[in-house]
Amino acid sequence: MKRLHVHVAVADLAASIRFYSAMFAAEPTVTKDDYAKWMLDDPRVNFAISARGATPGLNHLGVQVESADELAEMSERLQKLDTDVVEEMGTACCYAKSDKYWATDPQGIAWETYHTLDSIPVFGGQQEGECCVPEPVVAKVPGCIPVKAKPTAGGCC
């Protein structure tokens, strides 16, 4: 079963954790110095926030899948779109190792489709303040700092 993913850049992590914990009536399932994530079942969403120097606001949206087969299905859907699709296999970001694809909707919102393979102890290899959205997608998203034109392992969620 797929799960909606929402990632919001925040200015004050502690205040945002208090706000979203109250709104969701749940504490985060992952909390780091610069990141928090709620894996909610009602509504079924993976909601993440981070304080890493990005402009506060919507960072990206996504669909988290539970298997390689579901990821392949989502990849097929994305390949039919009139937009660039960026592939990242075995990437380390947001304290997780994942396989993923990125696309941009007509409004310029970055969408990530991904399968989490494992948890890792670090956010990822990103420089402070960099956005985790690959450059072909970032170019259409105001406020994001480009990472790479063709990312390899090391992109962020």
Between these two residues, 151 and 100, which has the higher pLDDT value? 100
Lowest mean pLDDT among 70-74, 77-81, 96-100, 119-123: 119-123
Percentage of the chain lying above the pLDDT 70 cut? 79
Q: Does an H or E element contain 3, and which? A: strand 3-9
Instruction: Write the single-letter amino acid at 124.
Output: G
pLDDT at 1 over 90: no
Question: Residue 119 forms beta bridges with which residues?
Answer: 96
d(Cα 81, Cα 29) in Å, to the nearest integer? 34
Mean pLDDT computed over every residue of the chain = 80
pLDDT at 153 over 80: no
Q: Does an H or E element contain 116, and which? A: strand 110-119
Between these two residues, 95 and 142, which has the higher pLDDT value? 95
pLDDT at 117: 92
pLDDT in tens, 3-57: 999 999 999 999 999 888 987 889 999 999 999 999 999 889 999 999 988 889 9
Taking the alpha carbons of 37, 122, 112, 146 in that order, is the dihedral positive or negative?
Answer: positive
Q: Collapse the DSSP code of 129 into the 3-class scheme (helix H, G, I; strand E, B; otherwise coil) and give the result.
A: coil
Does the N-terminal peptide bond of residue 43 adopt cis geometry, omega within 30 degrees of 0?
yes
d(Cα 128, Cα 97) in Å, to the nearest integer? 19
Q: Where are the domains of the chain?
A: 3-87+100-115
d(Cα 150, Cα 24) in Å, to the nearest integer? 36
**What average pLDDT does range 108-134 have in this prediction?**
74
Q: Tell me: domain 3-87+100-115, CATH 2.40.50.100, correct? A: no
Going by pLDDT thresholds of 50, 70 and 90, the confidence category of residue 106 is confident
Is residue 142 within 8 A of residue 111, CB to CB? The reply is no
Q: Assign residue 42 a region: left if phi > 0, alpha if psi is -120 to 50, beta otherwise?
A: beta
pLDDT at 31: 97
d(Cα 139, Cα 104) in Å, to the nearest integer? 10
pLDDT at 99 over 90: yes
Tokens 């406020």, residue located: 143
Q: Collapse the DSSP code of 112 into the 3-class scheme (helix H, G, I; strand E, B; otherwise coil) and give the result.
A: strand
**What average pLDDT does range 94-113 have in this prediction?**
86
Between these two residues, 142 and 33, which has the higher pLDDT value? 33
